[in-house]
Amino acid sequence: MSVVAIVGAGTLGGALAQTIAARDRVGSIRLVDEAADVAAGKALDIRQSAPLERFGTQVTAHGDVAAAAGADVVVLAGPAAAPETEWTDDAGLAQLDRLSAGRSGAVVLCAGASHRRLVERGVAEGRIPRGRLLGTAPEALRAAVTAVVALDVGCAASDIALTVLGVPPRHAVVPWGQATVAGQRLEELLPAARLARTRARTPLLWPPGPYALAAAAARIVVALVDGTALTSSCFVVPDGATGVRRRAVAAPVQLDAGGIDRIVEPALTPAELVHLRNGLAAVDREAEDG
């Protein structure tokens, strides 16, 4: 039976537990938070919705992060004590350290929009294998950009294929030349002026809200527990593929049951490549100045 542990019963963690349970593809969800009564209340609400939403996923609440031990996938969200926040910086790294002590081979997802640096520190300082630690927020941005394009074109979002890489919001890159609608190049369907407006709106779609973040993370969780191959935009620490080893960036990755199978390198135009490299250089400078 597949087990998913969600660490943090704040707004994001609660939304994620509900979203995963409703998909009915996971055997058990453990909602973990030091505020055990809050976690228990949210778990009860989800269980009570099961007959209406017709799912059989078991949802339980726990007050100790040790309950994440043995889970197939662990998702870090944010604390119930500050429900609209996400664990970041030292507090987030401490949670990753505690998870490292109690898990065995689990894939760890950082679901928050602010978790790019946490992924970076988890690999560099927490020594979590880069293939088993990733941030899922860029997938929410990809979905939002896809929805905007679908409205512009007048088609279903499922017809659109595009990806996001870089560091949102200012340094995100969408390879528009590779974007397609039902197999046809987007640039052939949208006039240049409309595509330029869509491109300009992309930074405004960041950060995604908790329910968009939950939907993106849930999609990845289900793929991991099912062992289904999936290409998704995630925060990862590349192994030199982008020329930046230490920095976590958004990149399209091929996922399998063990985590990251490989980082996909999309074809970029010269302008997109310059934008990406300039963005990564700016992130390096910001990190050094900080």
Q: Which residues, 6 or more positions from 53, have their beta carbon under 8 angstroms from its beta carbon?
A: 21, 22
Under 8 Å between Cβ of 23 and 218? yes
Lowest mean pLDDT among 1-5, 14-18, 137-141: 1-5
Per-residue pLDDT at 290: 60
Cβ atoms within 10 Å of 48's Cβ, excluding its own: 9
Q: What are phi and psi of 118, to 5 degrees?
A: -65, -40
282: confidence class by pLDDT, cuts 50, 70, 90: confident
Per-residue pLDDT at 193: 92
**Residue with structure tokens 């593809």?**
25
Per-residue pLDDT at 157: 96
Assess whether pLDDT exceeds 80 at residue 114.
yes
List, in sequence order, every residue forming a beta bridge with 29; answer none if it has no partner: 4, 59
**Residue with structure tokens 């197999």?**
183
Assess whether pLDDT exceeds 50 at residue 126.
yes
User: Two tokens at 216?
Assistant: 């993106």
Measured between alpha carbons, how far is residue 197 from residues 146, 164, 189, 204, 245 in Å? Answer: 14, 17, 14, 12, 33
Q: Over the chain, what is the mean pLDDT?
A: 92
31: confidence class by pLDDT, cuts 50, 70, 90: very high
Helix (H, G, I), strand (E, B) or coil at 118: helix
pLDDT in tens, 259-271: 999 999 888 999 9
Q: What are phi and psi of 147, to 5 degrees?
A: -65, -40
User: Two tokens at 27?
Assistant: 């055997």
Per-residue pLDDT at 243: 46
- Give the residue, 1 or 208, on which the prediction is more confident: 208
pLDDT in tens, 142-189: 999 999 999 999 999 999 999 999 999 999 999 999 999 999 999 999
Strand 107-110, strand 73-76: pairing: parallel
pLDDT in tens, 45-68: 999 999 999 999 999 999 999 999
d(CA 207, CA 266): 23
d(CA 191, CA 113): 32
What stretches of 110-262 show up as alpha helix (H) in DSSP?
116-124, 137-153, 192-201, 210-226
The whole-number average pLDDT for the span 110-129 is 94
How many Cα atoms occupy the beta-carbon half-sphere of 96 within 13 Å?
Answer: 30
pLDDT in tens, 216-257: 999 999 999 998 889 999 999 987 544 445 689 999 999 998
